[in-house]
Structure 1
């Protein structure tokens, strides 16, 4: 960096990193990354409605600059083939996503086939699903579902990071016999 100190440093908030940054780069602004801010709000506050509003306000100024007209044209002219056992859900996503996003989501559908709901807990209008791999329960993810708003949030936070639902959320959709992607899982362009 030609002996220039960074102006800002974004990390996960690790205390040893914070200490080192303060020591080595005293004039740098140390901030948490957006993913960790949302993750902390999800874990510490535990109210999906708050997390949803927090995320909306925090990420509201960001816009993805990708060639929308070209992506729409390609999607209209191309017909994807269905490749998973969740054909109805797969078909509904093909109607919602552009072709390139649909192909990324198709891989998530394939991974969802190896997941299962291990446990579920009802807390008011929310249900917390524990989802793990079908073969082992060593690693589990939590999917929060609000029946009133048809809103899903997963502890992996893939939808917040990449804009498409994760295999854990898809597993819950399949478990609940939902064969159409809820609007809450489709981020606006």
Structure 2
């Protein structure tokens, strides 16, 4: 990772891991897995209705003041003032409550489901009583399928133009040219959400404008977006961009009010663009040294060749050419 420390870490709450993170990554924001917290609530508080209420507060998209009021009401409602687990959990609210995690980048993740999903992916393909050489073979096949799936997604991102379906087609078209396919569809969902927003006015400041919005049928919920015309920088009170890295519906509404036909560069996180992987690959090619371990070099080569294999497998001519090139190169490397 080029000696870069993570800005955020997501775990299941293991205490030994918590202590290690504080020691090794002291500046990282440590978040507890949403799914594990929900399961612990179910185990430790056996009161009807509490489980669902607690999950609602975990995901509450509001500021700290609103969260504190909602938490106090919940504790009084279920009579949990003297419950030790509830008290200890409240004291660690900065590690699991979304109200306290807003503005911290977690790439939109609230649970360790990506890690658990990876475990499940391999568990489906690996049987219990395998000999070591059989395990290696099955593991390589599972890894190949995973990389082939990733190469397929990248190929579709690079070579397919999605159909434009929203009312803000200029912005949607620009999103299709810069974002990966998956992020493009998520951006379209934000455009759809924008249609439910109600414009409540604009206030002119010295060097920026403040837009106010509310949401249809969501009484009491308001958001503010500050927009700096000189730099095109936007900041929304919902802080979704800081948490996930994708413009929220409120920011898109400002783009509409300002008659923008392209997403401002300040609202585009490079890691979600089509160029992110390409820049990383060029950097890796320039920086790899002879001190890397054999496992690292092996992994890099596998990732590099997977995309070529995907394209070569599309035609019989490409297949034959790639196979012959591999055979010649393999003999030379041996």
Same topology, TM > 0.5:
yes
Greater helix proportion: 2
Greater relative contact order structure (CA < 8 Å, 6+ sep): 1
Q: Aligned partners of 1:97, 1:129: CA distance in 2, in Å? A: 26
Who is 1:90 aligned against? 172
Who is 1:62 aligned against? none
Shift of 1:30: 5.4
Three-state SS of the structure 2 residue aligned to 1:139 is strand
Structure 1 residues 100 and 136, CA gap change in structure 2 (3 angstroms): closer
User: What is the CA deviation profile of residues 104-128 of structure 1, one whole-angstrom value per residue up to 9, with x for unaligned ones?
Assistant: 1111111112223211112221211
Which of residues 87, 104, 120 is equivalent to 2:202? 120
Cα RMSD of the aligned pairs, angstroms, is 4.1
Who is 1:32 aligned against? 94
Gap regions ≥5 residues in structure 1:
40-54, 60-66
Q: Aligned partners of 2:258, 2:217: CA distance in 1, in Å? A: 21
Three-state SS of the structure 1 residue aligned to 2:167 is coil
Who is 2:188 aligned against? 106
Three-state SS of the structure 1 residue aligned to 2:262 is coil
Q: How many residues align?
A: 166
Q: Aligned partners of 1:148, 1:87: CA distance in 2, in Å? A: 24
Q: Aligned partners of 1:36, 1:148: CA distance in 2, in Å? A: 31
Three-state SS of the structure 1 residue aligned to 2:204 is strand
Q: Aligned partners of 2:192, 2:238: CA distance in 1, in Å? A: 17
User: What is the CA deviation profile of residues 47-73 of structure 1, one whole-angstrom value per residue up to 9, with x for unaligned ones?
Assistant: xxxxxxxx7xx86xxxxxxx8876543
| 8 Å Cα contact 2:93/2:100 also seen in 1 | no
Q: Aligned partners of 2:165, 2:189: CA distance in 1, in Å? A: 9
Task: Kindly report which structure 2 residues correspond to 1:73-88, keeping only aligned pairs within 5 A, or say none.
Answer: 73-88=155-170
| 8 Å Cα contact 1:35/1:160 also seen in 2 | no
| 8 Å Cα contact 1:129/1:172 also seen in 2 | yes
Three-state SS of the structure 2 residue aligned to 1:164 is coil
Shift of 1:170: 0.6
Gap regions ≥5 residues in structure 2:
1-12, 19-30, 33-57, 59-63, 73-80, 86-90, 106-146, 272-334
The answer to whether the aligner puts 1:167 opposite 2:249 as a matched pair is yes
Greater strand proportion: 1
| Normalised TM-score (structure 2) | 0.40
| Normalised TM-score (structure 1) | 0.66
Which of residues 177, 180, 183 is equivalent to 2:259? 177
Shift of 1:143: 0.6
Shift of 1:161: 1.2
